[in-house]
């Protein structure tokens, strides 16, 4: 069965520091991978997605993610975080079964220290 693991439930970083959020997936076919961000009390906003091609994907708000097939990973990175990046981040894999169903990880809550 398909699954997504985000090993870190909560991460705290200082403003201006670099960030890496981990995501590992389990899926037998070519994965379609996504990162979403959720601010408190809000819906989910798409940060970036990987379907094929270049394994380094650029997204909104200065985020990027790298797909590594050999490690079954799709880690999210940002070189310098801002206080406004505090939110919950979700990694998901898209499973094509009729429609494209998303299987989500448990989420990583990011706290920014001033």
Site residues, another protein (CB under 8 A) = 4, 6, 32, 34, 36, 42-46, 49, 51, 90, 92, 94, 96, 98-107
Residues pairing with 104 in the sheet = 92
* In the complex, least distance from residue 28 CB atom to another protein, rounded to whole angstroms: 15
Nearer to another protein, 15 or 103 (CB): 103
CB of 15 or CB of 27, closer to another protein: 27
Handedness of CA 23, 91, 63, 71 (dihedral sign): positive
């Amino acid at each position: 069965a398909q699954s997504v693991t985000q090993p870190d439930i909560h991460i705290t970083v200082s403003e201006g520091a670099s960030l890496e959020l981990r995501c590992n997936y389990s899926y037998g076919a070519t994965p379609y991978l996504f990162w979403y961000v959720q601010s408190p009390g809000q819906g989910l906003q798409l940060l970036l997605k990987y379907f094929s091609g270049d394994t380094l994907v650029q997204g909104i708000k200065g985020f990027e993610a790298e797909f590594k097939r050999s490690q079954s990973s799709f880690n999210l990175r940002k070189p310098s975080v801002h206080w406004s990046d505090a939110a919950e981040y979700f990694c998901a894999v898209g499973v094509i079964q009729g429609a494209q169903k998303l299987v989500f990880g448990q989420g990583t809550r990011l706290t920014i220290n001033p």
